[in-house]
Chains A and B, each alone.
Chain A
Amino acid sequence: MALNTLEQQAIAELDLPTTRPFRLVDHLGAVRASSVVFLIAVWEIFGRQVNPLFLSYPSAIGRAFLQIVTTAEFQRSALGSLHVFAIGLLAALLLGITVGLLMGRYRLVEYLLDPYVYALDATPRVALIPLLLLWFGLGISSKIAIVFLSGLFPVLMNTFSGVRTVSAQLVDVGRAYGAGERKLFTKIILPASLPFIMAGIRLAVGRALIGIITAEMFTAVSGMGALLIRYSSALATDKFFVPVILLALLGVVLSNAVEKLQKRLAPWKETERAL
C-alpha cells in the first residue's frame, strides 16, 4: 500500500517506525522449520543418553535405515505387504462400491442387508483378526481378508449415503428423457455420488493400512508388521523405527494420491459447495 505525501510527512515528523516490528506470527514458516530442527536435536541429545534398548535417536535410525533398506529380506517384506494391501483394498473397493450402489438404489436390498452392514460396521474390525486367522491360517489369505474387511465398510457406507443424496430431480429428468436403468446408473447416479465414493476410498486406504499392519503384527510371519514385532522383540529400537517411518510415509503418500485423484475425477463437489 503506497502512502500519500501527507502520511509520509506525518510519519517523518512523529518519528514513527516505517517497518513493522518483528513478530513471530509473520514468520510461521521459520517457526515450523525451527520446530522440526529443535525436536530432532532434543531427540538426538536425549536419545543418546538413555539405554539404546528403550529409545533410539535420529542419527542411529538414519544409519539403520541405510543398512536395512538394501537387504533382500526387507525388500521382500515390504513388497509382500504392498501386494496383500493392494489385493485386499481392490476387492474391498469393488464390492463396497457395488453393494453401496445397490443398497442406495433399491430399498429392498437396503432393508435386506442393512442389519448386517450396520452390525459389522460397528464391530471393531481388529476383534475379528483372531477369528479370521483361525479360518484362513497364518498365510496370505487371512491378511487379504483383514485388509478387505477393514477397507470395505468405509467405501460401502459412503457410496450408500452418496447414492441416497442424489437429487430426485436429476433422476426424474433422466427418466423423463427416457433413460433406462443402466443409463441412470452410469450417467446420473455414479457421477453424482462420486465425491462421496472418493471420500470413502480415502478413509478405506487409511483403515486398510492399519488392518495390514495389525494382521502382520499378530501373525508375525512376514511383512512389515512382522518386522516391527521382530525388531521390538530383539530390542533393536533403531531398526524398529525404519518400518514405522516408511509406513507413515506410505499413509501420507496414498492419502494425498487419493485426494489428487478426487480433485481430478470429481471436481464438481468443490464448485457445488462454493455456491
Chain B
Amino acid sequence: MAVPTDEQIIEELRLRRERRWSIYDHPNLVRSLSVIVFLLLWEFFGRETDPILFTYPTAVAEAFVKLITSGELIKQLAVSLSALAVGFIVSLVLGVALGLALGMSRTAEAFFEPPINALYATPQVALTPLLMMWLGLGFSVKVAVVFLFAFFPILINTASGAKNVSAAMVEVARAYLAPPRQILFKVICPAALPFIMAGVRIAIGRALVGMIVAELFTAVTGLGAMLSLYGNIFETAKMFVVIVVLAGLGVSLVRLTQWLERRLAMWKETERALG
C-alpha cells in the first residue's frame, strides 16, 4: 500500500486548509480602523465645541487648501527650511571637523572637553533669549539657534567615533607609510562614519526643534511664527495645519537620515553581525 501523502491525510481528517482568520494577521486593518474611528469621533464631537478652542478634521483640511492656494504656507515653509538647512550644514561641517580633531588628539580633547560639556549640559532653549539679544529677530538668529541645537550631538558622536577607530587599522596604514592625510580620509573617516550618521540623526530632530523655538520667539517669519500668530488670533484650524506640516517634516527628515545612514554606513551592520 502506498504511503498516504500529506494531501490525502488532510482530506481524510477534514483538516482546515487555511489558517483561521485572526485579527493578529491584519495589523493594518486594526490600525486603519483605529484611525478612522478616531477621525469620525473627532469630526462629530469637534463640530459641537467652540471653534475658537477646538476644530475638526474637515475644517483642518479646508484650512490646508486655503493656506496652500494663498501661497502663504509654501512661502513660510521655504523660509523655515532655508534657516534649517543653513544652520544644519554649518553645524555638520564644524561638528565633524572639530569632532575628528578631538577624537584624534587626547590633549585637544582634554582642553575642549570642559566647555563643550558645560554648553551641552545647558538646556539650549535657555540661551535663545541671549542669541536674540545679540542677533536680532532675523534670519541669522534662526540659523544660530538651529546651529546651537544641532552642533553638539554631531560633535560628540564624531569624537567618540574617531576615538573608537581600531588602533590596528591605523597602525597598518602607518606601516604602509600612509601620510597623515590618507590616514584621516581613508581610515579614520570611514571608520567613524556610522557614529557620525547616528549623530546626524539625533541632530536633525533637534535642529527642527531649534527652528521652531526660534520662530516661536521671534514670531516674524516661518512656520513657528505662523503657529504663534494663529494661536493669538484663535484660528485653531490653521494652527493644526501648521502642526501637521511640522509633524510631516519631522517624519520625513528622520526617514531621510535613516535611509542615508543605511546607504552611507552599511558596514556598521556587517561588523556587528561578525562580532
Contacts and interface: CB of A to CB of B under 8 A. Distances in A.
Contacts of A124: 205, 208-209, 212, 246-247, 250
Contacts of A265: none
Interface in A3-58: 24-25, 28-29, 31-32, 34-36, 39, 53-54
A115 B133 contact: no
Contact of B133 (A107, A129, A209, A232): A232
Contacts of A210: 123-125
Interface stretch (A72-80, A161-169, A179-187, A212-220): A212-220
Identify which of B127, B130, B243, B250 gathers the most chain A CB atoms within 10 Å of its CB: B130
A176 interface: no
Nearest to A123: B247
Contacts of B1: none
Interface string A237-256: 10010011101100110000
B228 A130 contact: yes
A87 interface: no
B125 A28 contact: no
Given A54-B133, A127-B212, A218-B216, A213 B53 contact: no
Contacts of A209: 123
A36 B114 contact: yes
Nearest to A28: B110
Contacts of B107: 24-25, 28, 31
Contacts of B53: 134-135
Interface in B84-140: 106-107, 110-115, 118, 121-130, 132-134
A128 interface: yes
A229 B242 CA distance: 25
Interface string A134-151: 110000000000000000
B264 interface: no
Interface residues of A, number: 56
Nearest to B126: A244
A240 B106 CA distance: 34
Question: What DSSP secondary structure best describes chain A's contact surface?
Answer: helix
A123 B250 contact: yes
Given A122-B251, A122-B254, A251-B123, A127 B115 contact: no
B216 A247 contact: no
A209 B217 CA distance: 18
Contact of A213 (B115, B126, B133, B251): B126
B236 interface: yes
Given A36-B115, A217-B126, 15 more contacts: A24-B107, A28-B107, A28-B110, A35-B113, A108-B30, A110-B27, A113-B34, A116-B38, A127-B242, A135-B53, A210-B125, A217-B217, A228-B129, A232-B129, A251-B121
9 contacts: A35-B113, A115-B31, A134-B231, A135-B53, A213-B125, A232-B133, A240-B129, A244-B127, A251-B123
In the A-B complex, the 9 residue pairs with the smallest Cβ-Cβ separation, listed nearest first, are A130-B231, A232-B129, A111-B30, A123-B247, A248-B122, A31-B110, A28-B110, A122-B250, A122-B251
